[in-house]
């Protein structure tokens, strides 16, 4: 039979398959946690829309961090990965393997939704990073919650970390363009582009505040 891998022996191949299986099982737990949090957010959206006739969020997206991004982030943090510590290294060092992004029209809805999610008794808030009140120097704005939610598996209740990013439509628009810049190498005019992005982030923040205040005026004026 033709050999698949010339340079590894049978023992190494079995080890590699076992590691692969462990990795798949870990990712499956993160997928379950995403489903739990997404359902919670959709339930809140449903309740809001029936009570107040409006949806607090416009869209919700979820993603599992790709194996290459997991590896790169662990390497950046100087974590040594071995066959035996793989699951523990990922769980201990990364908060955003399971990620959800909730895009709202208005800033007040971001805080309202985040509070309603955080106060649920099976949700543990590990960390709040408020890049709306404290934007990053490049202009990045979003509210990040690092949560732990229980996932009920055959082996019992397992707490799993999930990162939820809340932003307005305008902040999301900005972040997607900035993301393009972050992953490009050797860019001409990098300083100029960064400065333009910083200025656009300010414009967007002002627009978000204005839209919020107009909505508040409309709500106050309706009898």
Contacting residues toward ligand 0O2, per CB under 6 A: 65, 69, 73, 95-96, 129, 136, 138, 140, 144, 175, 178-179
With vertex at residue 201, the alpha carbon angle to CA 188 and CA 106, rounded to the nearest 5 degrees, is 145
Closer by beta carbon to ligand 0O2, 48 or else 103: 103
Closer by beta carbon to ligand 0O2, 136 or else 196: 136
Query: Torsion angle, CA of 69/72/77/79, rounded to 10 degrees?
Result: 100
Closer by beta carbon to ligand 0O2, 100 or else 117: 100
Closer by beta carbon to ligand 0O2, 131 or else 215: 131
| Residue 92 in tokens | 């201990």
Strands (E), 21-170: 59-64, 98-104, 124-130, 143-153, 156-168
CB-based closest residue to ligand 0O2: 140
d(CA 46, CA 51): 9
Closer by beta carbon to ligand 0O2, 93 or else 158: 93
| Of 78, 46, 36, 71, the residue nearest 164 (C-alpha) | 36
Closer by beta carbon to ligand 0O2, 69 or else 158: 69
Q: Are 99 and 65 in contact (CB under 8 A)?
A: yes
Phi-psi region of 39 (alpha: psi -120 to 50; beta: other; left: phi over 0): alpha
d(CA 170, CA 103): 9
d(CA 22, CA 20): 5
């Amino acid at each position: 039979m033709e050999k698949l891998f010339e340079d590894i022996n049978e023992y190494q191949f079995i080890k590699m398959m076992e590691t692969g299986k462990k990795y798949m099982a870990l990712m499956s737990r993160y997928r379950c946690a995403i489903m739990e949090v997404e359902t919670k957010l959709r339930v809140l959206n449903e309740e809001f829309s029936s009570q107040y006739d409006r949806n607090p969020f416009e869209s919700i997206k979820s993603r599992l961090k790709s194996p290459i991004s997991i590896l790169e982030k662990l390497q950046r943090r100087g974590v040594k990965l071995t066959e035996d510590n793989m699951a523990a290294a990922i769980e201990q060092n990364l908060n955003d393997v399971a990620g959800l992004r909730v895009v709202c029209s208005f800033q007040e809805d971001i805080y309202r939704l985040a509070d309603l999610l955080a106060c649920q008794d099976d949700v543990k808030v590990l960390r709040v990073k408020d890049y709306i009140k404290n934007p990053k120097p490049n202009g990045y704005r979003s509210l990040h919650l690092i949560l732990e939610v229980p996932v009920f598996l055959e082996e019992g209740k397992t707490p799993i970390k999930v990162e939820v990013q809340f932003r307005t439509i305008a902040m999301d628009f900005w972040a997607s363009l900035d993301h393009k810049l972050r992953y490009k190498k050797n860019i001409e005019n990098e300083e100029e582009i960064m400065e333009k992005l910083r200025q656009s982030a300010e414009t967007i923040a002002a627009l978000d505040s204005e839209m919020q205040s107009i909505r508040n005026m409309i709500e106050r004026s309706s009898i």
